[in-house]
Every structure is written in C-alpha cells, then in structure tokens.
Amino acid sequence: MSANLLELDDLKSYLGISDTSQDTILQNCLNASWAMMERITGRELSQATYTETKYWKPFKRRYTIITDNAPIIDVTSVKLDDTTVEDDYYLIDEEAGIIRFKFDAEFEKSEVNYKAGWYGPSAVETPRIPMDLYWAGIKLAAWEFYKKKGRLGVKSISGVNESITVYDDFDLQQIIGAIEAYRRIRVD
C-alpha cells in the first residue's frame, strides 16, 4: 500500500468531530479506506517510483507503451531491447500514463523507469489527487467509521456529550462508483 493521502482533519470535519478522543479509530478508518481504494483501482495512488519491464510479441510495430501507473510525473529512462531511447524521441501523455514514440518501432522488450501517482490535496507539488476521488475516500472512511460504531442507517442519536446524524441516503455504491472511475486497466 502506498502512502495514504487522506487527511484526518478532513474526515473529522466531514463527521463533525472536533475533539481528539477518536483520532485512532478515525485514522484506522482512513487507512482501511485507502487500502480499499487501491484494491478497487488496482494500483498505488500516491506518488512512487517504478521500473516496468514488458516483453512483447516479436515482429510487431509499436507506437506506444502504456504504463501500469498514472499519472506520470517524470520518466527517467526508456529502453527498447536494452537500448536507451533519448527523451526527444517520445512524448508523454502524463494523465493517461502513455509513452508515445515519434517513430514506429519493432522491439521485444521495453523497460521504463518513471515516477507516477498523485500528491495530497494540499501539496505544493502536482499532480494532486483528483477531488472526486479524494472525497470518495473520505466518505468511504466515514462509512467505515459509522459501521464500526453501529450507526449505519441511524437518523440521529443524542447523548450527554454527543449528537450524531447519519444520513439515510449514505450511498456506498455511489462512493465505490466514484473510485472505480480511476481503475487502471492493464493492456499488454
């Protein structure tokens, strides 16, 4: 699992919690949510460095290499059949995670060293995690919190030190759907 980009303060704000008494359980919910997001999307979401070696069918011309992770932040090197390709011979579609060659090439092996993924929502660096994906993760963590507390489907609970409202329309399928939109499809 990559570094969790979901922030505790955003989850607490979403839940209307201001004290620190439940921070441990909330952080556990964020971690569970992040792990589920990476399982659903089939990839690591926060930025990391990768080396991908792929073997291709011989005698077939290729114009692109689709990386397993995106968005691409930086490409360190590209090798085709163990020969380094200069960076002015290819273009990078960062968001899609595609390296497009300016020429057609026949090769049986490619090796790409690159950095890909997102930074947190408040990071100075880009690309930052898309806000719909981020808030789906926060909502998933809130769902996990409500589930742990036995409060799913409860309209409201009032107590001495606590007042909690859980919305009837808390739609887990909608949250999962927002995350599934970022599923990485492997193409060989």
Confidence grade of residue 168 (pLDDT, cut at 50, 70, 90): very low
Tell me how far apart the alpha carbons of residues 88 and 57 are, in angstroms, rounded to a whole number.
25
DSSP label of 87: G
Q: Residue 157: its pLDDT value, please?
A: 55
Instruction: Confirm whether pTM is higher than 0.95.
Output: no
| Tens of pLDDT, residues 90-126 | 999 999 999 999 988 888 999 999 999 999 998 999 9
Tell me how far apart the alpha carbons of residues 103 and 64 are, in angstroms, rounded to a whole number.
10
Q: For every residue of 102-161, which 3-state class applies, written as one string?
A: EEEEECCEEEEEEEECEECCCCCCCCECCHHHHHHHHHHHHHHHHHHHCCCCCCEEECCC
Averaged pLDDT, 49-67:
88
Domain boundaries, the chain: 8-44+119-180, 48-116
